Chain A
Amino acid sequence: MTGDPLFADGVDWGDIGIMGIKIGVAFAALLVATMFMIWFERKLISDMQHRIGPNVAGPWGLLQALADGIKFFFKEDLRPANADPLVFRLAPYISAVTAFVAFAIVPIGGVFTDTEGRSGTVTLFGKETILQVADPPVGILLLLAMSSVAVYGVMLAGWSSGSKYPLIGSVRASAQAISYEAALGMSVVAVVIVAGSLSTQRIVSLQAGGANTWFVVTTGIVPFIVFLIAATAELNRPPFDLVEAEQELVGGFHTEYSSIRFALFFLAEFMNVITMSAIMVTLFFGGPAGPIFFGLTWLWPTVWFLAKVLAFLFVFVWFRATLPRLRYDQLMSLGWKVLIPVMLLWLMFLGLRQVVFDQESWNLAQRLVVTLGVTAVGGALGWLLLSAAMRAARRNTAQEPLDAEDLAGTPTGAAPGDVGPGRGG
């Protein structure tokens, strides 16, 4: 695939077969993982709240998600009279498709420390291939592209419903997604600076040398923490779930959806949780890297990968069980005034380190002094400017009377009357 998007050398059934199998397997695996995740979350959160959780369908309630899915299929598909018919039908598919496509760049297995010179490839139909759907040269940028396209699903769903709560929910959601995308992108850049490549395959193979080569260590822990927070916000998971805050907005952008279309949103949400966990494992925790003990050497990396992803799924559920929801202004100030400045400073530090360590004539002391000195000066300057700006802002808001919009905490300026596409359309 890489470097030859048009198959200039010709295409045969082997290529098509491998591609078909990969897409099929990835899709099926993601669907099964989503069903598992729904069960896992419900069971785990019940345990944390001293409840039992689903226990009727199947052993330990394992088939609960399947039962729910079947129920969704047979429910009536309602569409509000005010809704924009075309966009209303389109929105769930945008959400579901982007959730799946982002998973395509994750390497889910493959031995990267092979003595035979292979790096993460397996042989299928006599062709060497990698254990991921695609490894485009832009690699990790595809994640950012998909997460920015996913905004459309949410936004259009809210708008096309022709109803107030979904619109407010979708405006919140897209504002939140756009705000945190900056922090998310910058923490990805930190990894890219150190790895020197955008390709996930390369990023993973650079981390194959043991836990001390994982990027969570070599980029410092800061980019990982920022990524975890920004990813939680991007996923609209608690404590950043004001998008669908049940107490305020009924259900957020998908309030008017029912039946299989609602199921698609639900699916996309859980798929995104899995994809983000997988991306985090790929970027910071070595992907499928891990010790190989005995027997099936090709199976161990996948096992390690799944174990790491499971750990992150647990973390997301844990967040939901323990952290209270943020207020809208807290959310925005965390994103813009904390995460982005911290990440900018850290990027400066990483870039400096990379440049300084290329100067071969310098000794260690010189390198350290230059790196730390410039970072400290830049950080101090930035902090001064930022705190001055924040003081000015606080002074200005103290002088202005607080109006209703600020109190409501929603950024929508729309009058409640003119909501939705149906009116006069």
Chain B
Amino acid sequence: MVEVLVFAVAGAACLVGAIGVVLSRNPVHAALMLVMTLFGVAVLFVAQEAHFIAAVQVIVYAGAIVVLFLFVIMLLGVDRAAELSLGALPAQRWTAAAFGLGGAAVLVWMVAAVDRLYKGAHSYELEAAGAAAGDADAAATSYLTDVSAIARSLFSDYVYAFELTSLLLIVAVIGTVILARRSSGDDGPLDGTHGGDLQQAEGAPGTQEARR
């Protein structure tokens, strides 16, 4: 009973939020709707006893990423619906619709496939899989909470992928800093090259106007 209730409320929040993101005319409202969806997903995670993922969902996505969105929206002053209707690409609507439908089809297929796996072949396949994984593995993971299970796979099994991802993020941050300094600084020490000068000449009137 409780399960159905929780799923209904969280699922409704997710759906309403998702539709709201698409339909809101005001970017700030759209961002808030996104937060609602993220919270709904977090509740669903808790219902699956993935507490840590739920907390991270709220801290990282709702607490950092959407806040960043809001920062950009507020500081650039693009919180007006009129500016959004401009820059649409020629076939954007049709392409977006096609991708959306494709995504929905894949999702439906996945749910159906998982459903069949669990319903049809329940006892045999799952038990076989459990036996194949071995008792030692099961014993090793059974006492772990989800936090330590995640930590174990991040920092031992997938440590290279994890470190590479953090390297990628650092490169992205450094790149952003350099690009940001180049376009706003008048004669920053970073760009002695001709290309930098050209870009400055193009960007200069805009930035100065923005500063005023």
A binds B: yes
CB atoms of B67 and A142 under 8 A apart: no
A5 within 8 A of B: yes
Please, which residues of chain A bring their CB within 8 A of the CB of B49? 3, 5
Count of residues in A whose CB is under 8 Å from the partner chain? 48
A342 within 8 A of B: no
B interface footprint on A119-158 (CB within 8 Å = 1, 0 otherwise): 0000000000000000011100110110011011001100
Known: A5-B49, A155-B70. A137 touches B147 (CB 8 A): yes
Known: A198-B147, A400-B185, A424-B80. A413 touches B210 (CB 8 A): yes
Please, which residues of chain B bring their CB within 8 A of the CB of A415? 77, 210, 212
Within 8 A of A (CB), among B60-78: 62-64, 67, 70-71, 74-77
A95 within 8 A of B: no
| Docked CA distance A141–B185 (Å) | 40
| Docked CA distance A145–B186 (Å) | 40
Q: Identify the interface centre among A6, A142, A425: most chain B CB within 10 Å of its CB.
A: A6
CB atoms of A87 and B29 under 8 A apart: yes
A423 within 8 A of B: yes
| Docked CA distance A400–B186 (Å) | 8
A7 within 8 A of B: yes
A414 within 8 A of B: yes
Within 8 A of B (CB), among A144-198: 144-145, 148-149, 151-152, 155-156, 159, 167, 171, 174, 178, 181, 198
A interface footprint on B170-212 (CB within 8 Å = 1, 0 otherwise): 0000000000000001111110000000000000000000111
A179 to chain B, nearest CB (A): 12
Please, which residues of chain A bring their CB within 8 A of the CB of B113? none
CB atoms of B74 and A149 under 8 A apart: no
B29 to chain A, nearest CB (A): 7
Please, which residues of chain B bring their CB within 8 A of the CB of A84? 26, 28
The residue in chain A whose Cβ has the minimal distance to the Cβ of B83 is: A424
CB atoms of A138 and B63 under 8 A apart: no
B41 within 8 A of A: no
B2 within 8 A of A: yes
Please, which residues of chain B bring their CB within 8 A of the CB of A167? 74
CB atoms of A148 and B67 under 8 A apart: yes
The one of B28, B59, B82, B188 that contacts A396, using a Cβ cutoff of 8 Å: B188
B138 within 8 A of A: no
Please, which residues of chain B bring their CB within 8 A of the CB of A381? none
Please, which residues of chain A bring their CB within 8 A of the CB of B82? 424
| Docked CA distance A178–B29 (Å) | 21
B51 to chain A, nearest CB (A): 5
A364 within 8 A of B: no
CB atoms of A414 and B63 under 8 A apart: no
CB atoms of B145 and A399 under 8 A apart: no
The secondary-structure label for the interface of chain B is helix
Count of residues in B whose CB is under 8 Å from the partner chain? 45
Within 8 A of A (CB), among B25-80: 26, 28-29, 32, 35, 46-47, 49, 51-52, 54-56, 58-59, 62-64, 67, 70-71, 74-77, 79-80
| Docked CA distance A151–B67 (Å) | 8
Please, which residues of chain A bring their CB within 8 A of the CB of B210? 413, 415
Within 8 A of A (CB), among B141-171: 145-147
A270 to chain B, nearest CB (A): 22
Q: Which stretch in A23-31, A314-322, A401-409 binds the other chain?
A: A401-409
| Docked CA distance A387–B52 (Å) | 36
B3 within 8 A of A: yes
The one of A3, A149, A198, A403 that contacts B63, using a Cβ cutoff of 8 Å: A149
A350 to chain B, nearest CB (A): 16
Please, which residues of chain A bring their CB within 8 A of the CB of B145? 137
Residues of B within 8 A of A (CB): 1-3, 6, 26, 28-29, 32, 35, 46-47, 49, 51-52, 54-56, 58-59, 62-64, 67, 70-71, 74-77, 79-82, 145-147, 185-190, 210-212
Given contacts A178-B67, A395-B189, could you give 20 more A-B pairs where the C-beta distance is less than 8 Å? A11-B2, A87-B29, A90-B32, A136-B51, A138-B54, A138-B55, A141-B56, A142-B55, A148-B59, A149-B58, A151-B67, A156-B32, A174-B67, A178-B64, A181-B63, A396-B189, A413-B75, A413-B210, A414-B74, A418-B77
19 A/B residue pairs, CB under 8 Å, sorted by A: A5-B6, A5-B46, A5-B51, A11-B1, A84-B28, A137-B52, A145-B62, A145-B63, A148-B63, A149-B62, A151-B63, A155-B67, A155-B70, A155-B74, A198-B147, A404-B211, A414-B75, A421-B79, A424-B82
Residues of A within 8 A of B (CB): 3, 5-8, 11, 84, 86-87, 90, 136-138, 141-142, 144-145, 148-149, 151-152, 155-156, 159, 167, 171, 174, 178, 181, 198, 395-396, 399-401, 403-405, 412-415, 418-419, 421, 423-425
The 3 closest A-B pairs by CB, nearest first: A148-B63, A418-B77, A141-B55
